[in-house]
Chains A and B, each alone.
Chain A
């Protein structure tokens, strides 16, 4: 199976690989997927007092498409508000990376990772609406 040029670019030159301090109150961490399924994504966001995502980091265990999907979303969420980031759809990711049908689950996982990171941030910062 041939990968798209964008997938190869993200795989070979992943953006924003790394970790933020998960105990920092301004950092939200999303850990999604499972080793048994062959994909685990960890996405972290650092949110400013104004509610803007000012930094994002990822680590991913998975195939090239999974790595590319998570690398791409770290680029996309930076500079966005939480609501804007939460509105990123897996179909946008799949389209940008030209993922084949068997790799759509990688983009779904990346969308889940954003949502999980936002939820974690809201929970930690007391902005979790469900908890109010």
Chain B
């Protein structure tokens, strides 16, 4: 096996889209596996199929070696020690393990958790669960730019606070929280700092020591690795202790029992190595593409609004409200693009995105939003196609929108008494 870092990444391949398939602009939902990742994984399904925990023969040894190399690759992208990487099934499990694990271990001493209203559902729902067990949780609001107020965080942390959980990058609006500042504050106040970095790893530079991060959740499929695997970084010095969610053979230092999936670990590691090598150049490329998309839309469409701060944001995300056009109707209009809507009209509830609502975006504007996720295989042709397609759909829908007519007539939609249904 080659030593870590000695093998330069192959050049980034292109992915061809099947004929008739929509242009994929939903990279915050998931990413395709990079073909280089798949290539690295393949031998570990068949000829090298051993159980990495088998100590008695070559099959086990080579699988263990592969898993440990992957652990080094993952540790390297966040500046951690490989021993601090615990493999899990994905970021949802990592977030559960971090929050429940720490809360349960330290419950005799501390019973308070601080998190943020715009966190992913798996953090919020886990906090609700812990509340039912008797823990107290503070849900911090965000400012209109999507970022937390550091003074509010400082005021929320008490000597009873076991853990503070703040995501690095929001999945809907892509904004980047001030992670280093939050880490320094938690360190000063004596609370553990957990950050959900599912959307951040491989997108922005992260360093667990420089940023005082005690626990970090990572997902492989958000950075061109396989689905079904993630990791939790757990600091060793000073040591963070956890009550495991899954008990058994005591793998992963007792924090997560179960046989490791060697091919998934290898793919995850390879994905991190590629992302680490290409992050700088890729960020510049994506920023240009995003600016091209936003500029193209702004040039041709009035009354469009970016949700969340544009500067403190990963380059591959854009979340836009197209006023007077309903998001789900718009998604139907842009059927040759795969995007997400902030309108929840597809679900049984009529409530739009809780993240946009938390920014103070009006309900009606939240209903008009689309999320564009750009990534490694997005091309400038994709962006130009998207601009034309979106402009056409928005103009088609505005031409049949009664709200657009009212806007043109100068009627303030808020002045009308609507019958809520």
Contact = CB atoms under 8 A, between A and B. Distances in A.
Interface of A: 1, 3, 8, 11, 14, 17, 19, 31-42, 58-64, 66-67, 102, 105, 108-109
A66 B329 contact: yes
Contact of A61 (B326, B333, B348): B326
Interface residues of B, number: 31
Contacts of A34: 418-421
Q: Is the contact region of chain B dominated by helix, strand, or loop, or is it mixed?
A: loop
Interface string B363-384: 1100100000000000000000
B360 to A, nearest CB: 14
B13 to A, nearest CB: 32
Give the top 4 A-B pairs by smallest Cβ distance, nearest first: A34-B418, A35-B364, A63-B328, A42-B402
Interface of A is mostly: mixed
Contacts of B400: 14, 17, 58-60, 67
Contacts of B399: 17
Contacts of A38: 326-328, 343, 345, 350, 352, 364, 367
A3 B420 CA distance: 25
A34 B413 CA distance: 10
Given A38-B345, A61-B325, A19 B405 contact: yes
A23 to B, nearest CB: 13
B403 interface: yes
Contact of B418 (A11, A19, A35, A59): A35
Contacts of B367: 35-36, 38
Nearest to A67: B329
B403 A35 contact: yes
Interface string B407-421: 000000100001111
Contacts of B418: 33-36, 40
A38 B397 CA distance: 14
A59 B327 CA distance: 16
